[in-house]
Amino acid sequence: MAMAALQLAISSVSLARSREVGSEDLRRLEALRDEIDEYLNRIETEKK
């Protein structure tokens, strides 16, 4: 659920930023999203 909320937030920011700023900020946000996703997946795997 947290990942879905993060993706929605990033999508909103992505849309706003794409109109204002270059793609560098978007690339950084997507990298952060991927890093958080990997972390959450790792935690979930360790719980099993």
What is the distance, to the nearest Å, from the Cα of residue 35 to the centroid of all Cα atoms in its chain? Answer: 8
CB 7 within 8 A of CB 33: yes
Pick 43 or 2 by higher pLDDT: 43
When pLDDT is cut at 50, 70 and 90, the band that residue 2 belongs to is: confident
Q: Is 1 helix (H, G, I), strand (E, B) or coil?
A: coil
Q: How many domains, the chain?
A: 1
Domain that holds residue 39: 2-47
User: What's the pLDDT score for residue 46?
Assistant: 84
pLDDT in tens, 3-47: 777 788 788 877 766 666 567 877 888 899 999 999 999 998 887
DSSP 22: -
What is the C-alpha separation between 40 and 3, in angstroms, rounded?
Answer: 8
User: pTM of the prediction?
Assistant: 0.52
pLDDT of residue 35: 94
